């Protein structure tokens, strides 16, 4: 089979909005997926491939539709095209800095992320429910990981924690809100929606904390600003985020082991 980039170039060449003589320039990508700037004679687009689909089971058509809805609400860039085989997607090109390049203070960064998270959590979007225990089991099956009796008890306990949290409240979540996924310019736009879902908001906060490697001070600041934005007690937000952190750590650990296995 031809390499993905070759197949991608062939498909792009047949699209009406892609002019002859286009160029695909590689950008810094994620842990698995590749990203490109698609340059035509008069316009640029963002292209992302989906190598991570070897690990995660994702409905790319539904995710495309969710991003379209979010773009209409001003929260995401407009998706332009999903490939026939759902192995890459073309988006509107947005030439703006993201939070990781903005040079903000830690306090300003925490305040911005809290604002973005509270906005997302109050946005009505038709998205799938996150079945986290099934996701863990999927990763365990991929890496053929033997599970001891003690580890199974931990998994069962985490499953109960997750189900109780979701029984109390689920909202629309990003679940991978790195600084590089949020624009600095306002109104803020958010990128990389592949793990979005109806989920526990405090899992989303804990994911944001861990993916950005926040210190205890920055974590406390994020929780405080989020509590202020959502009119909750800071102690309540901190307690719920603390409960979710081990679940995020387990999810990330299993994902990375599955990614290593499939590399």
Domains and their CATH numbers in the chain: 4-92 (3.30.200.20), 99-262 (3.90.1200.10)
Reported as a pLDDT band with limits 50, 70 and 90, residue 5 is confident
Reported as a pLDDT band with limits 50, 70 and 90, residue 141 is very high
Please state, for a pLDDT cut of 70, what percent of the chain lies above it: 96
pLDDT value at residue 42: 85
Specify the range with the lowest mean pLDDT, choosing from 25-29, 65-69, 80-84, 153-157: 25-29
d(CA 91, CA 102): 22
Query: What average pLDDT does the structure give for the chain?
Result: 93
Find, among 190, 28, 56, the residue nearest to 131 by Cα.
56
104-131: pLDDT as tens digits = 999 999 999 999 999 999 999 999 999 9
Per-residue pLDDT at 31 exceeds 70: no
3-class DSSP assignment, residue 26: strand
Per-residue pLDDT at 224 exceeds 80: yes
Per-residue pLDDT at 261 exceeds 90: no
Per-residue pLDDT at 183 exceeds 90: yes
- Higher pLDDT: 95 or 193? It is 193
d(CA 8, CA 13): 9
pLDDT value at residue 138: 93
Specify the range with the lowest mean pLDDT, choosing from 26-30, 92-96, 229-233, 256-260: 26-30
Task: Encode burial over 219-232: b for 16+ CB neighbours within 10 A, e otherwise.
Answer: bbbbbbbbbebeee
pLDDT value at residue 263: 61
Per-residue pLDDT at 1 exceeds 60: no
Reported as a pLDDT band with limits 50, 70 and 90, residue 260 is confident
165-182: pLDDT as tens digits = 999 999 999 999 999 999
pLDDT value at residue 2: 65
Alpha-carbon dihedral angle through residues 91, 92, 96, 99, given to the nearest 10 degrees? -30
- Higher pLDDT: 91 or 186? It is 91
User: Burial, 240: exposed, middle or buried (Cβ in 10 Å; 0-12, 13-18, 19+)?
Assistant: buried
In what helix (H) or strand (E) does residue 38 lie, and over which residues does it extend?
Answer: strand 35-39
């Amino acid at each position: 089979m031809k390499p993905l980039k070759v197949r991608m170039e062939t498909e792009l060449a047949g699209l009406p909005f892609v002019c002859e003589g286009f160029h695909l320039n590689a950008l810094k990508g994620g842990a698995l997926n590749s990203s490109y700037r698609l340059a035509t004679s008069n316009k640029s687009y963002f292209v992302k491939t989906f190598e991570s689909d070897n690990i995660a089971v994702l409905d790319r058509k539904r995710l495309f539709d969710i991003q379209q809805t979010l773009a209409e609400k001003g929260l995401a860039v407009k998706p332009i095209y999903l490939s026939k085989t759902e192995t890459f997607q073309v988006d509107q090109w947005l030439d703006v800095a993201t939070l990781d390049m903005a040079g903000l203070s830690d306090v300003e960064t925490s305040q911005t992320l809290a604002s973005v998270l509270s906005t997302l959590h109050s946005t009505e979007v038709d998205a799938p429910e996150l079945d986290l225990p099934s996701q863990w089991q999927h990763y365990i099956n991929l890496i053929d990981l033997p599970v001891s009796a003690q580890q199974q008890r931990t998994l069962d306990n985490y499953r109960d924690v997750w189900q109780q949290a979701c029984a109390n409240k689920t909202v629309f979540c990003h679940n991978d809100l790195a600084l590089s996924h949020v624009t600095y310019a306002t109104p803020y736009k958010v990128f990389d929606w592949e793990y979005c879902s109806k989920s526990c908001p405090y899992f989303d906060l804990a994911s944001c904390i861990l993916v950005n490697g926040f210190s205890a001070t920055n974590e406390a600041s994020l929780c405080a600003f989020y509590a202020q934005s959502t009119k909750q007690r800071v102690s309540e937000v901190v307690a719920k985020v603390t409960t979710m952190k081990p679940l995020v750590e387990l999810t990330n650990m299993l994902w990375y082991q599955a990614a290593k296995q499939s590399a």
